[in-house]
Amino acid sequence: MSDEQLYSISIEVNGERREALVPARLSLVDFLRDTLRLTGTHVGCEHGICGACSVLLDGEPVRSCLMYAVQADGRRVTTIEGLAQADGTPGVLQDAFCETHATQCGYCTPGMIVAAHALLESNPEPAEHEIREAIGGNLCRCTGYQQIVDAIKLAAEKRSVGAAGK
């Protein structure tokens, strides 16, 4: 291996404290994928445009390809794997993506769901233009976005019904 200097980091990932020694230049996405083997987060462009690598950092969507792992030290990261229910079954938003067939190849999907999740957390009843804006930084080459927009609308409805029932 190389003789790069390593730094100690401690990140809460999907509710679990993860500690590691990493080189300063290791990107957050490479840390998640290669070190932690959380391969649900994908790499599409590595220059912050496509959004495939989106994760939540303290609840806010960020590009994990544009961050170093050391920058996430002491922070809270949620990946697509952390958005499922406790038993591993899809969450409401993930289930809505299945219902409307909002995926094709599945490559942009995790980043898209992360962006949509962040939207619904801050805006539970988004209008269509707000949905499109929220996923405007996530490129999809398969779907033309329509069934993704439909999924997010459906998830908003289901969440609002669920919230009303509580």
- The binding site for other proteins (CB under 8 A) comprises 1-3, 23, 25-26, 33-34, 37-47, 49-50, 52, 79-81, 84, 88, 90, 94-95, 97-110, 113, 128, 131-133, 135-149
* CB nearer to other proteins: pick between 12 and 137: 137
Cα separation, 104 vs 17, in Å, equals 33
Using the structure block, give the residue that is written with the tokens 């495939």. Answer: 52
Shortest gap between Cβ of 44 and other proteins (angstroms)? 4
Q: Shortest gap between Cβ of 61 and other proteins (angstroms)?
A: 15
Of 2 and 166, nearer to other proteins (C-beta) is 2
Nearer to other proteins, 73 or 107 (CB): 107
Q: How far is the CB of 57 from other proteins (least distance, A)?
A: 17
- CA-wise closest residue to 26 among 68, 59, 63: 68
CA separation, residue 107 to residues 18, 26, 69, 150 (Å): 25, 22, 22, 18
Least distance (Å) from other proteins to the CB of residue 36? 12
The CA distances from residue 99 to 48, 102, 116, 127, in Å, are 29, 8, 15, 20
